[in-house]
């Protein structure tokens, strides 16, 4: 599927603007991570239809680090059920850093699975006969989320294994409190391997989209975890994913998210898309500076907050070919980021088979509302199509909002199609038969 221009351009523009943002520090408590390029910056987005968009270093390798936590939590929930897992790991925001000591008075239970203490216990819960089998199951699960076989970055794993005394200390404390059972070294070793799995921002976007899509990988179509599991993981990401910045994140960005010390950040827009950013410099909380800014901007601009009022019935998009040279694309309902992305995809598919002097009618007569950012994306795409030589007509009030030339906006689909066909026929006719460029004869709605 070819990338759709306006969404790619929005990511590229955001990428270009944030690439120059300084600030933050590359994590160095795992020595191998200190070698990361602070200028590396990638963005990737995957829709529920499996459309992929990216900008910058979206294919640069990085280790998944803490972004593995929601996925391994998903595996634990899917294998053991909510009650068995919450008996061992809580679901309360800790309000503390990712590597805090977290022992619930009385039980020793760590506060949640998104901080290290909770993640080490969660990993230890994955049913397996040996630590190597446990890691193999985790790697297979992460790979299914990504839609391709992932592997281990041996250098980062070895580096963390050599220096990870704080995580060992957390694990020993939890075993002392009774909340971690079994061999501490083995438990921590599987956790270190899990954190050192190699991914790209493009992989992370597919993984995030799988959680956003009820556990179905939008690229492979595989149901990786049950829908209810995905929903629960999103809930815990929303309240605990951003460590001690989780409350502010929910307030400002409003998307379930998870960051990691390698500079990875994912966010999930339920039933819409998954997004990932990679940029190594971290803020004092341990979240990637540029990734946080990118998500904040995207959420505000496209009204992505999960508590945002969704408007009326969901929009639907349809397309068909009207004759050989004119395509018709129809949308109904509210146009916001996701429905606009689908509309632009449908538009790209519809115009692909057209001759160079073909035409396209965008029927938005039954669009109930369109926000400014979405209208701008459609307008940009229609302008690009007109520059390519296609005749473009739009229908309805929303059509007038997305097409700069009012002469090419019509009250009914029939009039728009008739006009478009006439234009295309004139363009296809021999030059001497060309009539003066029309426009004045357009009928207005």
- Contacts with ligand GLN by CB under 6 A lie at 65-66, 98-99, 116, 160, 167, 195, 260-261, 286
Does residue 261 carry a catalytic annotation?
yes
Q: In this complex, which beta carbon is closest to ligand GLN, that of residue 167 or of residue 200?
A: 167
Q: Please say which residue, 96 or 349, places its beta carbon nearer to ligand GLN.
A: 96
Nearest residue to ligand GLN by CB is: 66
- Active-site residue, from 53, 73, 243, 278: 243
Nearer to ligand GLN, 193 or 408 (CB): 193
Neighbours of 380 (CB within 10 A): 15
**Of 47 and 66, which CB lies nearer to ligand GLN in the complex structure?**
66
As measured in angstroms, the least distance from the Cβ of 284 to ligand GLN is 13
Q: Is 356 a catalytic residue?
A: no
DSSP 345-364: HHHHHHHTTS-TT-EEEEEE
Nearest to 115 by CA among 80, 134, 90: 90
d(CA 145, CA 219): 10
* 66 is a catalytic site residue: yes
Least Cβ distance, residue 408 to ligand GLN (angstroms): 52
Longest Cα–Cα distance in the chain: 91
Q: Report strand pairing: 326-335 vs 359-370.
A: parallel
In whole angstroms, how close is the CB of 94 to ligand GLN at the nearest point? 13
Q: Quote the least distance from Cβ 298 to ligand GLN, whole Å.
A: 22
Pairing of strands 326-335, 391-395: unpaired
Burial profile 10-44: b = 16 or more Cβ within 10 angstroms, e = fewer: bbbebbeebeeeeebebbeebebbeebeeebbbbb
Nearer to ligand GLN, 205 or 265 (CB): 265
For the bound state, the minimum distance from the C-beta of residue 245 to ligand GLN, rounded and expressed in Å, comes to 12
Measured over the CA atoms of residue 236, residue 237, residue 238 and residue 243, the dihedral's sign is: positive
The residue (of 96 and 231) whose beta carbon lies closer to ligand GLN is: 96
State the Cα–Cα distance between residues 400 and 408, nearest whole angstrom. Answer: 9
Burial class (CB in 10 A: 0-12, 13-18, 19+), 206: buried
344: which DSSP letter?
H
Q: How far is the CB of 344 from ligand GLN (least distance, A)?
A: 35
Question: What is the nearest approach in angstroms of ligand GLN to the Cβ of residue 8?
Answer: 29
For residue 337, give both structure tokens.
């980021």
Contact 114, 89 (CB under 8 A): no
Q: Is 69 a catalytic residue?
A: yes
Q: What does the buried/exposed string (b/e) look like for 267-281 if buried means 16 or more CB atoms within 10 Å of the residue's CB?
A: bbbbebbbbbbbbbb
Which of 4, 69, 102, 157 is labelled catalytic?
69
Single out the residue of 60, 73, 55, 59 nearest to residue 16, CA to CA: 55
Distances (CA, A) of 95 to 112, 169, 251, 296: 11, 20, 15, 20
Which is closer to ligand GLN, CB of 286 or CB of 291? Answer: 286
Q: How far is CA 183 from the centre of its chain?
A: 37
**Pairing relation of β-strands 273-278 and 359-370?**
unpaired
Alpha carbons within 13 A on the beta-carbon side of 22: 0
Q: What's the closest the beta carbon of residue 334 comes to ligand GLN, in angstroms? A: 37
* Whole-angstrom distance, CA of residue 147 vs CA of residue 419: 46
Q: Which of 53, 157, 191, 302 is catalytic?
A: 191
Nearer to ligand GLN, 54 or 262 (CB): 262
Q: Which of 261, 292, 326, 424 is catalytic?
A: 261
Q: Which is nearer to ligand GLN, 65 or 200 (CB)?
A: 65
3-state secondary structure of 441: coil
Query: What minimum distance in Å lies between the beta carbon of 60 and ligand GLN?
Result: 17
- The residue annotated as part of the active site, out of 54, 66, 102, 124, is 66
Mark whether 4 is an active-site residue: no
Residues recognised as catalytic: 66, 69, 191, 243, 261
């Amino acid at each position: 599927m070819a990338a759709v221009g306006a969404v790619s351009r929005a990511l590229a523009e955001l990428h270009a603007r944030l690439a120059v943002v300084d600030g933050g520090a590359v994590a160095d408590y795992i020595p191998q991570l200190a070698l990361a390029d602070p200028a590396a910056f990638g963005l990737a987005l995957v829709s529920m239809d499996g459309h992929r968009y990216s900008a910058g270093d979206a294919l640069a390798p990085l280790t998944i680090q803490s972004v593995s936590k929601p996925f391994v939590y998903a595996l634990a929930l899917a294998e053991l059920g909510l009650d068995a897992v919450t008996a061992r790991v809580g679901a309360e925001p800790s309000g503390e850093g990712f590597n805090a000591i977290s022992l619930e008075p009385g039980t020793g239970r760590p506060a949640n699975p998104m901080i290290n203490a909770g993640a080490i216990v969660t990993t230890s819960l994955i049913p397996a006969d040996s630590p190597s089998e446990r890691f193999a199951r985790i790697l297979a699960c992460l790979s299914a989320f990504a839609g391709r076989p992932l592997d281990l970055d041996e250098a980062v794993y070895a580096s963390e294994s050599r220096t990870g005394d704080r995580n060992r200390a957390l694990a020993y404390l939890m075993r002392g409190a009774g909340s971690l059972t079994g061999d501490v070294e083995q438990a921590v070793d599987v956790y270190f391997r899990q954190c050192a799995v190699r991914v790209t921002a493009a992989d992370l976007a597919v993984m995030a989209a799988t959680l956003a899509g009820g556990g179905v990988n939008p690229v492979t179509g595989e149901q990786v975890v049950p829908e209810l599991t995905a929903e629960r993981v999103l809930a815990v990401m929303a309240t605990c994913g951003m460590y001690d910045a989780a409350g502010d994140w929910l307030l400002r960005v409003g998307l379930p998210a998870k960051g990691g010390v390698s500079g990875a950040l994912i966010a999930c827009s339920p039933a819409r898309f998954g997004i990932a950013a990679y940029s190594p410099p971290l803020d004092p909380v341990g979240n990637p500076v540029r990734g946080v800014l990118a998500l904040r901007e995207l959420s505000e601009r496209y009204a992505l907050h999960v508590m945002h009022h969704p408007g009326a019935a969901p929009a639907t998009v349809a397309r068909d070919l009207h004759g050989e040279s004119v395509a018709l694309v129809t949308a109904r309902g509210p146009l916001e980021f996701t429905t606009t992305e689908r509309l632009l995809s449908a538009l790209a598919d519809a115009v692909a088979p057209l001759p160079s002097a073909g035409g396209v009618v965008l029927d938005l007569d039954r669009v109930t509302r369109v926000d400014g950012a979405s209208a701008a994306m459609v307008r940009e795409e229609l302008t690009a199509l007109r520059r390519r030589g296609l005749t473009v007509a739009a229908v309805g009030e929303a059509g007038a909002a997305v097409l700069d030339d009012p002469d090419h906006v019509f009250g009914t689909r029939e009039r728009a199609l008739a006009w478009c066909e006439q234009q295309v026929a004139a363009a296809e006719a021999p030059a001497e038969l060309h009539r003066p460029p029309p426009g004045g004869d357009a009928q207005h709605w």
